[in-house]
A and B are shown apart, each in its own frame.
Chain A
Amino acid sequence: MNSRKSPVTRRSVLKALALTGAATAAGPAFWPRAEAAGSLVVGVIYVGPKDDYGYSQAQAQAAAAIRKIPGLTVVEQEKVAETTDVQKVMASMIEQDEATLLFPTSFGYFDPHVLKMAEKYPEIRFAHCGGLWQAGKHPKNVGSYFGYIDECQYLNGVVAAHATKTKKLGFIAAKPIPQVLRNINAFTLGAQSVKPDITTQVIFTGDWLLPVKEAEAANSLIDQGIDVMTMHVDSPKVIVETCERRRIHVCGYHADQSALAPKGYLTGAEWNWITPYTTHVKAAMSGTSMPNILRGGLKEGYVKTSPYGPGASAAARKRADGVKAKMMKGEYVIFKGPLKDNTGRTVIPAGTSHVQTDVVLEQMDYLVAGVIGKV
């Protein structure tokens, strides 16, 4: 079901490998694919369709933006599974399209697929989305870029707290991995910063794209009296539309979904991948070394918030804008002690505060007090 242009056989890959080895041995002059005269082919690979109102759409918007850079060609492929399929797609982009900078955008592409290809093609740059690259452990031609979107989820929480009447918020999540937990926690802390007794009910659906289960989860939560919803799934379209039909408020995720819920959309947490894409393209064009770790939040322009919808009150906007201004200055800390998880354990002792760049936050394995759910 995955349309591949011309499949790259094991033999051709081996041959290419041998060639690469020979070329590297013979010296760089032998290798014809030097980054010449500022022209660059960039390959972007998506796990879903690039207009899914979600994860892939956010990446595709950045790809569309870098297309405008002179001398740059972008090749794209959608719906590439997190299997050896992605290796074949990467190989064909490198061999046939002569791409030298790849954006394999899905989280699950990294290990082992990107790592394997990075070893085979040491002169190609692989920019992976997610926070997985580690110095000393992973190849130098691989880099990871990621954004502190929990800042926007915190702001979602602030706005949600003003909109809720039942003081019960809902969060539909795919899997309990650190990034998802960080979003759930930030959303809840944001809401509790306005009304401390607010709770967030979480439903884990088990996978990134399960429309029927997501709709069922949304309906179950709404039946339990939840009146503001947000989510962390690949394509929030179904959840946002279900919320609009059931007339509750919703905060978006990944991309701007306000068109799907003109009445109920409050605001949303969006990626702004144009920033890291541009950094990688510039580095590749000028031939400087691969930026291995790119991270940023609102301040660095890696994430942004959706424009406020009609449900966001003036008080909510004022409060959220205030917090946002502090975040833009880098003065706001979301995760600081004393902080307890929902089993009563102290996870951040009093006096400790974790700024966004703190890697401890990328290993989050708890849900804060006020979240109803279990990891």
Chain B
Amino acid sequence: MDSGLGWLGVPLAVVGGALRVSTPFLFVSLGECLTEKSGRINLGLEGVLVMGAMTGYAVSYYTGSPWLGVLGAGFAGLLLGVLHALICNLPRVNDIAVGIGLMLFGTGLAFFLGKPFVQPSAPLLHAIEFGAWSDSTQIRSALRVNPLFIGGILLALSMHWAFRNTRWGMVVRMVGDSADAARAMGYSVNRVRLMATACGSFFAGVGGAFLSLYYPGSWNEGLSSGQGLMAVALVIFARWRPIACFWAALLFGGAAALGPALQSVGVTGGYYLFNAAPYVLTLAIMIATCSPHRTLAGAPGELSVTK
């Protein structure tokens, strides 16, 4: 173990933190982006995230394979997403209210089913060492990247491409922008939204598996401190663009790492303030991007918030 980096450690810790903490944000925001592109808001992704974390940990514990855990987490999310979509397909159902219900249901169910998994240690996902070239343990630790993070980048890129270049992407966007137009074209609005919500929840479930199977890598009830909800705000900040979701997730991850990093070099005053950085950032973004005179640029036309 070599000696500390001192002040240089702060930017390094923020970069490392961004790489470590951002993945759940990334997956939940991509999932939410897909759902919202189809014209529906799923506020329940916080519940899906927690449920995914629990399922991933449990499956990994029983099967011994963390990747099966990731898959299991995705499918647990998918089921919750289908539930949300089916309820919202009923006439005159408010998607935001259902989302809040789903959030409470998902976290409650995860806490209930997750009881036996608080104590045991499940096998975790391994990281890819991008810092192997360096002699510094700090750099090596900061550049230890989980394959799921890379999966998230690829997912963001492919969603960006698919929304513009594939028939499926176009259909999702059309349903989200004008349900009437989609109906006139002969597409079932409800079916498209069902699939978009289900896929989006699958992504959020995978994000949950990252929490329990990689970082911090343990299942307990305080695991998600609102990452799922913050990711929903992040989608608005990213203006419903998948690539921007990626940058926003990095920014939020880095903000979460700032507080501990500053304290570790001896900046000890105001740690409550630095710890609140991600939340302050959320609030600042909401204030900066809202305006009474215009709807948000890039917002899908069918979203109930923008109507």
Contact = CB atoms under 8 A, between A and B. Distances in A.
Interface in A238-295: 238, 241-242, 245-246, 248, 259-260
Contact of B119 (A3, A53, A227, A242): A53
Contact of B9 (A210, A211, A223, A374): A223
Q: Which of B12, B215, B256 has its CB near the most chain A CB atoms (within 10 A)?
A: B215
Nearest to B120: A51
A211 B3 contact: no
Contact of B264 (A1, A215, A220, A235): A220
Given A203-B260, A220-B13, A220-B263, A374 B3 contact: no
Interface residues of B, number: 51
Interface residues of A, number: 48
A211 B222 CA distance: 7
Closest 3 CB pairs of A and B: A225-B4, A215-B216, A209-B222
A246 B216 contact: no
Interface of A: 1, 3, 48-49, 51-53, 79, 165-166, 168, 201-206, 209-217, 219-227, 235, 237-238, 241-242, 245-246, 248, 259-260, 372-374
Contacts of A205: 260, 275
A224 B268 CA distance: 15
A373 B262 CA distance: 11
Interface in B1-37: 1-6, 9, 12-13, 16-17, 20-21
Contacts of A212: 21, 211, 215-216, 223, 225, 227, 256
Q: Which of B119, B225, B260 has its CB near the most chain A CB atoms (within 10 A)?
A: B260
B216 A217 contact: no
A121 to B, nearest CB: 29
Interface stretch (B61-69, B108-116, B162-170): B108-116
Given A52-B220, A212-B216, A215-B217, A223 B4 contact: yes
Contacts of A79: 111, 221
Interface of B: 1-6, 9, 12-13, 16-17, 20-21, 104, 107-108, 111-112, 115, 118-119, 121, 137-138, 141-142, 211, 215-218, 220-223, 225, 227, 256-257, 259-261, 263-266, 268-269, 271-272, 275
A373 B111 contact: no
Given A201-B264, A217-B260, A219-B20, 11 more contacts: A49-B220, A166-B3, A206-B272, A209-B220, A213-B225, A223-B12, A235-B220, A246-B141, A373-B266, A373-B268, A374-B268
Nearest to B262: A220
B221 A225 contact: no
A77 B110 CA distance: 18
A213 B259 contact: yes
B141 A51 contact: no
A206 B274 CA distance: 11
Nearest to A176: B271
Determine chain B's interface SS by DSSP, over half rule.
helix
Contacts of A209: 220-222
A167 to B, nearest CB: 10
A206 B275 contact: yes
A270 B87 CA distance: 49
Given A52-B118, A205-B275, A224-B264, A374 B112 contact: no
A265 B2 CA distance: 21
Contacts of A373: 263, 266, 268
A221 B20 CA distance: 16
Nearest to A170: B264
Contacts of A3: 112
B178 to A, nearest CB: 39
B1 A225 contact: yes
Contact of A220 (B221, B261, B268): B261
Nearest to B223: A211
23 contacts: A48-B221, A49-B115, A49-B220, A204-B271, A205-B260, A211-B216, A211-B220, A212-B215, A212-B216, A213-B225, A215-B216, A216-B260, A219-B260, A220-B261, A221-B260, A223-B4, A223-B137, A224-B6, A224-B9, A225-B2, A237-B218, A248-B1, A373-B268
Contacts of A372: 266, 268
B132 to A, nearest CB: 16
Nearest to A168: B4
Contact of A51 (B13, B119, B217, B266): B119
A213 B272 CA distance: 12
B188 to A, nearest CB: 35
A214 B264 contact: no
A224 B5 contact: yes
Contact of A223 (B211, B256, B264): B264
A217 B20 CA distance: 13
Nearest to B119: A51
A227 B264 contact: no
Contacts of A219: 13, 16-17, 20, 141, 260
Contacts of A224: 4-6, 9, 264-265
A230 B12 CA distance: 23
Nearest to A235: B220
Nearest to B8: A223
Nearest to B114: A49
Contacts of B5: 223-225
Nearest to A56: B118
Contact of A211 (B107, B138, B218, B266): B218
A223 B118 contact: no
A259 B264 CA distance: 27
Contacts of A53: 119
Nearest to A374: B268
Contacts of A241: 121, 216-218
